[in-house]
Amino acid sequence: MHGKVDIERMLISQLKQGSERAFSDLYNIYAHQLLAFCKRYVKDSEKAEEIVQDVFIALWRNREKISQDTSIKGLLFVSARRLLINAWRKMVNSPIYEEFLAFKEKDTAPDAGASIEFDEFLQIVNSEIDKLNKTQRNAIIYTRFKGLSIRETASLMGLSEQTIKNQVTLGLKQLRQALGINYILFFMFFMNWPR
């Protein structure tokens, strides 16, 4: 292990002295591992990148406190684990992830869907939601993405509960048509999510 350990020791000692180059080298060595690791649990690239960003910024801010003999790989994990577990729990419990699995399960057409990634799915749904009118869009985002109840959404938007229900129904109908896939958003409409 001579080569790797010595280079890492050198980079740590430079990092402790504030070398941006050493920091950049450490990023180049470990960032792709960390991002790939985060993406195993948090399928949403943006969320996974946020964690990588927070972890590396923490590494830089705390550079003077790093012990010379530490393993950077271990350190990155310690710094990432809480963030990652929280984001993982959030994603698993999110309505949109359930929607994604439902979509993959129901959509058996050979040409589409089967190999779609959560990322792409999010992008497609988000771009369609952007096309809805403002009331429908917000009603859907609050109830289906942020997991608020109809009542909470109604008071937040200053509308009646019945209006929210109607707007969600209309919005989902339009989404279904826009996405052109029969089963998509079916579950969104009937399930109650935790939180």
Contact residues for other proteins (CB under 8 A)?
1-4, 6-7, 10, 14, 18-25, 27-29, 31-33, 35-37, 39-41, 43, 45, 49, 52-53, 56-57, 60-61, 73, 77, 81-82, 84-85, 88-89, 92-93, 97-98, 100-102, 104-105, 117-118, 187, 194
CB of 82 to other proteins, least distance (A): 7
Tokens of 51: 């964690």
- Closest by CA to 195, choosing from 49, 119, 91, 111, is 91
Pair 83, 52: CB distance under 8 Å:
no
CB of 136 to other proteins, least distance (A): 25
Taking the least distance from each CB to other proteins, the nearer of 139 and 187 is 187
Taking the least distance from each CB to other proteins, the nearer of 21 and 151 is 21
CB of 3 to other proteins, least distance (A): 4
Taking the least distance from each CB to other proteins, the nearer of 100 and 145 is 100
* Amino acid in position 20: E
Distance of CA 126 to the CA centre of its chain: 13
3-state secondary structure of 189: helix
- Closest by CA to 73, choosing from 16, 15, 17, 34, is 34
DSSP character at residue 146: S
Taking the least distance from each CB to other proteins, the nearer of 45 and 163 is 45
Taking the least distance from each CB to other proteins, the nearer of 27 and 157 is 27
Distance of CA 89 to the CA centre of its chain: 11
List % helix, strand, coil for the chain (3-state, nearest 5): 75, 0, 25
